Amino acid sequence: THTHTHTHTHTSRKNIHMPTLQSGNSPNMPWFLGAPVSKAIATTVAVFFVVAEVTKSHHSFSLDMEKVLNEGHIHRILLCHLTFATLAEVVLGLGVLCPLMRRFEREMGSRKFGTFLFFTTVISTSWEILLSQVFHDELARYSGPYPQIGSLLMLYHIYTPRLHPQFFGLLGFDFSEKAITYGFALQMVFSGGLGTMLPAMCGMVAGYLYTVPMFPLSKIELPEFVYSICSSVGAGFVDRNPTISTTRRQHRAAGAGAGGNNNRQQLIGDMRYGGAGGGVPNIPRAPLNNAPPPPAAAQQFQPTPPSEEAIAQLTSMGFEREAVVRVLQQCDNNVEVAANRLLSGA
């Protein structure tokens, strides 16, 4: 339990399309590459915590409904989501939030992910305000993005497959690798008693409703000007791919020198066929005379057959073996990426 400084403080769901993306990063890739909304939220939580610490104003971030209703402190409805109340919560909370946010923003896209967070936050906060009147004497709402943790946990529960059902054992029970994420998240959810459980549970329900086909939440979008403003304001949080930037610089440098045209053609070929760090497999171009490639080259680029262990993991989830083998070969035998692709119906 944390000490606070203030006194009041699975497969059938297809309406959200989850395109696949490699979860691993190159050592040179920014960690938040492809997730500017996640980066902005993490930065906001850290910055507002420092501000609250310096100004000793953590009490101003709590959702004190008496002050909201009787003194008109409407700003608390927004401020309560911006940061946590203690350093321990910041460290553990961002440790839970950042991987989940980055994963689902990359899969959903920044626009869809931002819309998801907006609607689930509005819905969960509305319920939280109503329920606070029921638990008026028992509830001291701690500041922190607990509804967002709850909604993201619901997405994680629904859309993330168990790749290793027997990842570790405890007291005779087997647990998958997902239990680690659940463990840290539940520690945050139960850390402040009802003051953290209620907003997190409201977020979970809101996240669940967002995935149910009978509700149109996942199809609703904000006005276009909202996305335009967010895109302009958040431009500084967008990380650039260093591989693409390096290739472009090489392209410009090659065009400025002698024989620039030939060099540009070569660089275009590099980008298209994987050279110069283009990031895609080096696929040989067919000869101009349409002659068949030599047998050695054909064998060199033949996809590696997936292992029986990988096939068994995915077929145990209910997928046909033929589809599993095909998708594994398309995903370079990456079980996690193949599972996401099969679940999303891509």
Average pLDDT over residues 214-240: 85
The answer to whether 32 and 99 are in contact (CB under 8 A) is no
Instruction: pLDDT band for 4, please (50, 70, 90 cuts).
Output: very low
Residue the block writes with tokens 């540009």: 264
pLDDT (0 to 100) of residue 65: 75
pLDDT (0 to 100) of residue 322: 85
List the single range of 13-27, 55-69, 88-102, 175-189 with lowest mean pLDDT: 13-27
φ, ψ dihedrals at 184, nearest 5° = -65, -40
Residues 6+ apart with CB under 8 A from 23: 103, 336, 337
pLDDT (0 to 100) of residue 164: 87
pLDDT (0 to 100) of residue 298: 45
φ, ψ dihedrals at 53, nearest 5° = -70, -45
- Quote the mean pLDDT of the chain: 76
pLDDT (0 to 100) of residue 13: 47
The answer to whether 124 and 203 are in contact (CB under 8 A) is yes
More confident residue, 178 or 3: 178
DSSP 30-47: -TTTT-HHHHHHHHHHHH
**Short-list 140, 153, 269, 251, CA closest to 203:** 153
pTM metric for this prediction: 0.66
DSSP 244-308: HHHHHHHHHHHHHSTTHHHHHHHHHHHHHHTTTTTSS--PPPPPTT-PPPPHHHHHHTSPPPPPH
What whole-number percentage of the chain has pLDDT above 90? 26
Tell me the per-residue pLDDT of 229-272, one tens digit each, with 9 for 90 and over: 988 888 888 887 665 455 455 555 555 554 445 544 443 444 44
